[in-house]
Structure 1
């Protein structure tokens, strides 16, 4: 069998587990399925394996941090009294997105689209008022944790697929190293 079948099974199983956990037992703690899946996609985009996991975390954290800055700036800086809320949000988003793309000059943050996905995740799921609270329910913290959990799920899915590939199939004496 091809690794693609085992990967499909492992992604389906762990994706289903993620849905159950984020919508069930972890829901009261603010777990976000949307953010977990975005984190998983970033992990895959960055090459998967342990290296992809190591690369995805800084991208996710940067995206969430800059989105939080944009939301807080749009809501709390004095220019909000001079221009409309839409304009102040537009200015804050524009400035933080410039910073996000320029951060790609740092090798550890070179894949800025992954950071952009994390940025969008926070913008899609929170309000500036919620970000000002230093609490375990802070949306930036919850988004970051959910993104990182998604990357970890991607890593676990890869590991599960590799383990399944090594199992002998019915009627097979030993796993073939050439399967793929």
Structure 2
């Protein structure tokens, strides 16, 4: 079997486990399957392995932080009453997206589309009212944790695929080192 087949099995198994956990036992803790899958995709964007994990996490945190700033500015500052909520929200989003792209000048945040996906994740999964709460149910914290857990699941799936590839199949003496 090819590494692609083993990867398909490991991604399916761990993706199913992530869905079960996010919608079952971890749901009461605010686990977000959508965010976990975006985190997994960000991890893969960096080529996987431990290096992909190390590179994806700062991008996820940057995106969540800037989205939280935009949401707080849009909902907590009084300018929306003066110029209208839609206009003020648009300004807050525009400014934070400019900062997100400018942050890509930093080597640790060079792939701004990964940060943008994390930014969008918080916007898609949050209630702005809870962003300032220093509590375990803070949406920014939950989104960041779910993104990181997703990246970790991506790493685990990759490790599982590689381990499966090394196992001999029935009727096979030893796996070939050159399979792909």
Superposition TM-score, scaled by structure 1 size: 0.99
Match of 1:114 in 2: 114
Match of 2:101 in 1: 101
Match of 1:77 in 2: 77
- Whether contact under 8 Å (2:40, 2:150) holds in the other structure is yes
Secondary structure of 2:38's counterpart equals: helix
- Whether contact under 8 Å (2:48, 2:154) holds in the other structure is yes
- Provide, for residues 19-63 of structure 1, a one-character-per-residue CA deviation record: whole Å limited to 9, x for no partner: 000000000000000000000000001110000000000000000
Match of 1:41 in 2: 41
Match of 2:5 in 1: 5
CA shift at 1:127, angstroms? 2.3
Runs (4+) of structure 1 exceeding 2 A deviation are none
- Provide, for residues 80-108 of structure 1, a one-character-per-residue CA deviation record: whole Å limited to 9, x for no partner: 22111111110000000000000000011
- Provide, for residues 91-137 of structure 1, a one-character-per-residue CA deviation record: whole Å limited to 9, x for no partner: 00000000000000001100000000000000011122110111000
- Whether contact under 8 Å (2:80, 2:86) holds in the other structure is no
Which runs of 5 or more structure 1 residues have no equivalent in the other structure? none
How many pairs align? 180
Superposition TM-score, scaled by structure 2 size: 0.99
Match of 2:173 in 1: 173
**C-alpha separation in 2, matches of 1:14 and 1:114:** 21
**C-alpha separation in 1, matches of 2:18 and 2:78:** 41
**C-alpha separation in 2, matches of 1:30 and 1:84:** 32
Match of 2:153 in 1: 153
- Counterparts in 2 of 1:9-24, with a 5 A limit? 9-24=9-24
- Provide, for residues 140-164 of structure 1, a one-character-per-residue CA deviation record: whole Å limited to 9, x for no partner: 0000000000000000000000000
What is the Cα-based RMSD across aligned positions, in Å? 0.6
CA shift at 1:178, angstroms? 1.2
**C-alpha separation in 1, matches of 2:20 and 2:127:** 25
Which runs of 5 or more structure 2 residues have no equivalent in the other structure? none
